[in-house]
């Protein structure tokens, strides 16, 4: 399940309903949000922590340098830091969704 921009500074505005919805499907379906140009008004570490700790996302898609995104170099520094999680999911939710099976022949929809 995807959603609107991942922006912790707007969590109480128009994005709240989408954020509540994604919280409600935690571990049921894979979830991911995109970090768009306008979302970089928060430090990347705050964006990451919001997606990981509050929304329990499986994926975060970071916009790269196209268009001169502010703070994108901070994203590279963050994920390269020694204390950043080194697991396959980069510290994000790794719980296999209950509606899906590792054996795709058994996936339930």
The residue extents of the domains of the chain are 2-85
Residues in the chain: 109
- Asked if 57 and 32 touch (Cβ cutoff 8 Å), the reply is yes
Alpha helix positions (H), the chain: 16-24, 44-49, 72-80
pTM listed for this prediction:
0.77
Q: Cα–Cα distance between 82 and 14 in angstroms, integer? A: 36
What's the start-to-end Cα distance of the chain, in Å?
13
pLDDT of residue 42: 84
pLDDT of residue 49: 93
pLDDT of residue 92: 83
Can you name the residues that pair with 60 across neighbouring β-strands? 33
Per-run averaged pLDDT (10 residues), the chain, 109 residues: 78 73 86 83 89 91 69 82 86 73 53
For residues 61-76, one letter each, b for 16 or more C-beta atoms within 10 angstroms of the residue's C-beta and e for the rest, the string is ebbeeeeebebbeebe
pLDDT of residue 17: 78
């Amino acid at each position: 399940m995807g959603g609107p921009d991942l922006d912790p500074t707007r969590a109480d505005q128009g994005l709240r309903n989408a954020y509540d919805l994604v919280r409600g499907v935690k571990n049921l379906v894979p979830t991911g949000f995109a970090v768009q140009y306008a979302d970089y008004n928060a430090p990347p570490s705050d964006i990451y922590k919001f997606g990981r700790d509050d929304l329990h996302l499986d994926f975060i898609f970071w916009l790269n340098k196209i268009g001169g995104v502010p703070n994108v170099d901070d994203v590279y520094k963050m994920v390269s830091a020694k204390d950043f999680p080194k697991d396959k999911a980069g510290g994000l939710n790794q719980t296999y969704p209950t509606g899906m099976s590792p054996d795709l022949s058994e996936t339930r929809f």
